[in-house]
Amino acid sequence: MSDEILEVDLLAFETGDADARKAVVDGLMRSLATGFVYVTHDVSADLIDTAYARLEQFFSLPAEEKARFVAPGTHGQTGYTGLLVETAATADVADWKEMLNWARDIDPGHPLRTRFPHRYHPQVLPEAAVPGISEVLNTFNDAIFDLQRRILRIIATGIGCHESYFEKMLVDGSTLSRAIHYPDMGSAPDAPHVWAGEHADINLITALPRATAPGLQVKLKDTGDWVDAVAGPDQAIINTGLMLEVITNGVIAPGVHRVVAAPDQPGDRYSVVQFCHPTPWTILAPVASCVTAQHPQRFAPIAAADALDLVLYEINLIEDARS
């Protein structure tokens, strides 16, 4: 098993010859043994910079102003989530971070919205406080979603499926963008808080364009050691989630990670991540190409909606069940 996070070039897969495509698939699959891979992409650097600038404006507002954009009953799936709310499933104390969450609206009459009203909420963005932020963040959401869709085509190829295997389950899926502000650790209350405790994500894959400061660490599966993961200017970090583990019968395990400030690291950190989810009615089950005599089926089928609801409860985002 590899213990090195590799870099692959998305455009080499999309525009290269057969050998170039194979090299990208092989590199990505080897790197995902860690649960992570660096992907060189074509998302606009100006778009990323603009998004961070607008988000810093929002997070710099007084607490009472930010609280206007809390969306009760949405379980952290849109609007503002304050400090010391989300808690890693393995942790006893809450993370030292605050968040702004958003996604693309779907038509009010869409059957997904009718069947899963707790998953598709009217979006709450702080347009009144930061004029222009909605257009920027929605454009960012679309660009990163397209990046993830394209990366999943490489993964589909790597697990022996048709390149388009994930395409239909992504249409109008409950993919979520999340901007995270990690305040200076010197301002944290007296408790063993970290920016984000050790955890794995529930979704298919997560995309993390470059952050404003280091902090993300990956847990190596072979040794249990923690290593820093920092995306370059034209890179995104991709990590795998628990839903992808089910679909691949454990061939691709979820990437375990945390976010911590170095002991001598001053200041705060901003990061924007996107969690790529299938439609809630997708039934997650191991694909045939990943089930063999040597690797018999490990996972029973489960609806994507049920898998997500359980994790939202475990990380303290279900309002009526918060600890």
pLDDT band at 322 (very low <50, low <70, confident <90, very high): very low
The 10s digit of each residue's pLDDT in 310-320 is: 887 876 665 55
- CA-to-CA distance for 239 and 93, rounded, in angstroms? 24
Query: 55 near 134, Cβ under 8 Å?
Result: no
Q: What is the mean pLDDT of residues 286-294?
A: 96
Tell me the fold of 35-321: Jelly Rolls (2.60.120)
- More reliable by pLDDT, 313 or 32: 32
pLDDT exceeding 90 applies to what percent of the chain? 77
The DSSP element (H or E) to which 144 belongs, if any, is helix 133-158
Q: What is the mean pLDDT of residues 258-281?
A: 93
The model's pTM: 0.92
Angle in degrees, 0-180, between the axes of helices 133-158 and 45-59, rounded to the nearest 10: 130
Query: 27 near 36, Cβ under 8 Å?
Result: no
pLDDT band at 189 (very low <50, low <70, confident <90, very high): confident
Residue 147: partners with Cβ closer than 8 Å, 6 or more residues away: 10, 39, 41, 43, 207, 236
Highest averaged pLDDT of the listed ranges 62-76, 130-144, 254-268: 130-144
Is the model's pLDDT at 167 over the cut of 70?
yes
- More reliable by pLDDT, 208 or 192: 208
- More reliable by pLDDT, 110 or 90: 110
Q: What is the mean pLDDT of residues 199-219?
A: 95
Is the model's pLDDT at 11 over the cut of 90?
yes
Is the model's pLDDT at 283 over the cut of 90?
yes
pLDDT exceeding 70 applies to what percent of the chain? 96
